[in-house]
Amino acid sequence: MEAVIKPTPQQQCFLDENGLDTGYLQHAQKWFMPISAEINKHQHGARRPLIVAINGCQGSGKSTLAAYLELTLSENFGLSVVAMSMDDFYLTKAERQQLAKSVHPLLATRGVPGTHDCQLMMTVIGALQRQEATAIPRFNKATDDRFETSQWTHVPSAVDVIIVEGWCWGISQQPSAALSSPLNGLETEQDCQGIWRNYVNNQIVEHYLPLYQLTDIMLMLKAPSFACVKQWRHQQEQKLAARLSADDDRSGLMSEQQIETFISYFQRLTEHGLATLPANSHVVWQLQPDRGISEVSRNKELFL
């Protein structure tokens, strides 16, 4: 029987912030600590920050994994680490509403490629790579808009490791033929001419692939199927609601029906990513429906 891990103060803070019990530490010790150790071994003496990307569909645990890696790399190995989410780089509500008018109404909804500020992301990552002080934006999902710059996360010192997590990070564009027919009710009813999905596909080529090429290590939390996403996303929304105080603005929170509609925006690229991204990832953890891990595979050497 495995010995129970007694959390350090920093680990307990991590568990509390993410609504986890100590069992997660044993789970992470088995599945994720080996990657932390390899990153540490590589980065001591390295001349530039390492960029580690984490892909996982909604509710897969990618934000938790990013926070765990940040914690272990800093606490166990003394590395300076910054973790950020693609979600914090969403365009403002006003910018998305403008896209909805000029390109397609579905672009008012955050999430798909084309609704992130890729130039801002490139600028922030570039500053971190050059060891310059910078500020990382924060996005308020409860109001569906970006926080004011005064509430951004300031990174004043040099970093050893940059962790970026996002549901679509690393997912390539689809072949044109795959875009010809609608995939679900959302596309059938609101994108019958394919304007939205073709725009999203073109955005990947023009603005997202250059970001993906910055990645040194690609990690993937692979869901069993898209069918798990609805349940996971609902749990995610409940966790978000639990974190809000009675006085917080809850206008951006979604009902179960809204969640079902919302995830339809992600179905096309999520399924494409599940089929294609594992081959381009260094490490893939195969998830079960309860988000437990059944196996890990390495498809590329971490450091060549």
> What domains, with CATH codes, occur in the chain?
13-166+177-288 (3.40.50.300)
pLDDT score recorded for residue 249? 67
Q: Is the dihedral of CA 110, 113, 114, 118 positive or negative?
A: positive
* Cβ–Cβ under 8 Å, residues 191 and 232: no
Range list of β-strands (E), 231-304 = 283-287, 293-298
DSSP classification of residue 109: S
pLDDT score recorded for residue 251? 62
Nearest Cα residue to 169 out of 91, 56, 260: 56
pTM for this entry: 0.92
For the chain (304 residues), the mean pLDDT of every run of 10, in chain order, is 78 91 93 95 87 94 96 95 97 98 97 98 96 96 93 92 97 97 96 98 98 96 91 79 69 77 93 96 95 91 66
pLDDT score recorded for residue 254? 76
Beta bridge partners of 136: 153
Contacts of 109 by beta carbon, 8 Å cutoff, 6+ apart? 96, 115, 262, 265
DSSP classification of residue 88: G
φ/ψ of residue 146, rounded to 5: -75, 140
pLDDT score recorded for residue 114? 98
- β-pairing verdict for 50-56 and 153-155: unpaired
Cα gap 232→238, rounded to integer Å? 10
- Tokens for 14, please give them: 């991590």
